[in-house]
Amino acid sequence: MDFQISARQRELMEAAQEAFARRLRPMLEDSTVEGVRKIRRAMAEQGLLGLNMPESCGGLGLPLLDTLLIIRTLQTCAPILGGLAHRTSTGAVGAIAEYGTDDQRRRFVEPLCRGELGISIAITEPEAGSAATAMKTKARIDGDSVVLNGRKQFVSFVNVNECSLVYCRFGNSGKASDIGAVIVPHDAPGFSHSRGTLNMADELLFELYFDDCRVPRSNVLLDGNAFGKLISVYNAERLGSVARMLGSAQASYEFALEYAKERRQFGRDIADFQGIQWMLADMRVKLDAAQMLVYRAAASAQQTGLPVPLETSIAKVFTAKAAKEICDDAIQICGANGYTKEYPLAHRYAEVRGGSIYGGTLQIHKNMIAAAILGRDNSQWKK
Ligand SMILES: Cc1cc2nc3c(=O)[nH]c(=O)nc-3n(C[C@H](O)[C@H](O)[C@H](O)COP(=O)(O)OP(=O)(O)OC[C@H]3O[C@@H](n4cnc5c(N)ncnc54)[C@H](O)[C@@H]3O)c2cc1C
């Protein structure tokens, strides 16, 4: 196992930092929907979208590890950049690249890599959070169309994205085997969404409504018996989010490190105090340990193209916890300044906090780890 970042990987990370400094940083001031779409197009021009998507679909064809290194680098620069790189590389787009038809790759993956399109992922429902397979949203084939009825909640970036990958049921058995997925454009008849609810990190989470929502049958990605398939690709999405948490933790650590060297109390730098030094040391230990677990999980994708579930869950559980603690310690080191919204740390903390909930809560990942190490069934359903 090679623990070193290669010269090529370092070049990729430096190129991302340079694109940020030269082209993207001035664009960040415009956080309107149109502003975000402009950033997305500029990122495509800089080769920062579709990082691990196949070259035949307009992607860069990078291995998962290189992809995560770039997502993490962009996240340290600005969370919105890490988010866009993630969603167009390890996000819902991955399921279309993996299981889609040539026509679906042409209509969705290619424009996603060009920054012309964004895609949300819609799994969660009011009665189906951690128990995702309890979802009720239904899809019915009707001639050349597929008709959806139901409701999703807590879906991210719906206002900025033009379509969603919607997990839904294609049968009436009530079992997980009914679950498939449909690509729903946000201008489809019968589709609407709420105005959004702000989360702790000031991002909007949306409810989606499907009221006899009709889309072409050619938008069906998988028509049942697909939950396992969808979740194996979703593990790459989980690692994309984990790379973002690492990026935010790293940015917070570096910020606090500099602050500790400059802030003076009792006639000395606060970095002179052992209480501060040990916090910084703990932050660095956690950051490096999390990084190793994320790299290991990403490297596991070299075998099958998809990351190993156990290693993904281990990386997620450790990093989500470590990132919360690192961001919290960074705020502590910066005192009242760190707690204000003038400083970037409160937002970083709020953002990584969500990582213990989305993409499977930490408790759900620990259930999966325990089932794997004990060799037991992971079903949580009441018998
Ligand atoms: C920032 C953010 C962005 C999100 N974006 C999206 C998105 O884009 N698309 C989407 O579909 N969803 C999204 N979600 C929703 C997310 O996937 C769900 O919140 C998550 O699956 C948990 O569901 P829940 O919130 O209903 O919690 P619940 O399932 O109600 O869980 C409540 C608590 O019970 C615990 N619990 C539940 N079952 C078990 C068990 N068997 N063992 C132990 N503990 C258990 C949980 O860990 C949690 O602590 C997002 C959430 C957040 C916070």
SS3 content of the chain, % helix, strand, coil (to 5): 55, 15, 30
Q: What are phi and psi of 221, to 5 degrees?
A: -85, -50
Instruction: Tell me the sheet residues that pair with 145.
Output: 142, 216
Give how far the C-alpha of residue 362 lies from the chain's centroid of Cα atoms, to the nearest Å.
15
Alpha helices by DSSP H, the chain = 7-19, 33-45, 64-77, 79-87, 93-99, 102-104, 110-113, 227-262, 274-299, 301-304, 309-333, 335-339, 345-354, 362-374
Distances (CA, A) of 127 to 73, 124, 262, 361, 375: 37, 8, 50, 16, 29
**Cα dihedral 215, 220, 223, 229 sign:** negative
Please, are residues 289 and 322 in contact by the beta-carbon 8 Å criterion?
A: yes
Please, are residues 44 and 115 in contact by the beta-carbon 8 Å criterion?
A: yes
For every one of its 383 residues, what pLDDT tens digit does the chain have, with 9 covering 90 and above? 677 899 999 999 999 999 999 999 999 999 999 999 999 999 999 999 999 999 999 999 999 999 999 999 999 999 999 999 999 999 999 999 999 999 999 999 999 999 999 999 999 999 999 999 999 999 999 999 999 999 999 999 999 999 999 999 999 998 999 999 999 999 999 999 999 999 999 999 999 999 999 999 999 999 999 999 999 999 999 999 999 999 999 999 999 999 999 999 999 999 999 999 999 999 999 999 999 999 999 999 988 889 999 999 999 999 999 999 999 999 999 999 999 999 999 999 999 999 999 999 999 999 999 999 999 999 999 98
For residue 6, the CA-to-ligand 1 centroid distance in Å is 37
For residue 360, the CA-to-ligand 1 centroid distance in Å is 6
Token pair for 76 = 């340290």
Q: Whose CA is nearest to atom 52 of ligand 1?
A: 358
Best residue among 361, 366, 383 to mutate for probing ligand 1, ranked by most atoms within 8 Å of CB:
361
d(CA 352, CA 290): 14
For residue 14, give the 3-state DSSP assignment: helix
Provide the pLDDT for residue 1. Answer: 66
d(CA 183, CA 166): 6
Provide the pLDDT for residue 232. Answer: 92
The amino acid occupying position 61 is G
Q: Whose CA is nearest to atom 7 of ligand 1?
A: 155
Token pair for 110 = 């290619």
Distances (CA, A) of 329 to 46, 176, 241, 253, 339: 34, 42, 21, 8, 11
Domains and CATH numbers, the chain: 7-113 (1.10.540.10), 119-225 (2.40.110.10), 228-374 (1.20.140.10)
Count Cα atoms within 13 angstroms, Cβ side, for 251: 24
d(CA 362, CA 353): 11
Pocket of ligand 1 from Cβ distances under 6 Å: 120-124, 129-130, 154-156, 199, 205, 354, 357-358, 361, 363-364, 367, 380
pLDDT (tens digit per residue) in 66-112: 999 999 999 999 999 999 999 999 999 999 999 999 999 999 999 99
Which atom of ligand 1 has the smallest separation from the CA of 128? 26
Provide the pLDDT for residue 137. Answer: 98
Best residue among 87, 120, 121, 124 to mutate for probing ligand 1, ranked by most atoms within 8 Å of CB:
124
For residue 131, the CA-to-ligand 1 centroid distance in Å is 9
- List b or e across 245-267, with b for residues whose CB sees 16 or more CB atoms inside 10 angstroms: bbbbbbbbbebbeebbeebeeee
Q: Whose CA is nearest to atom 38 of ligand 1?
A: 130
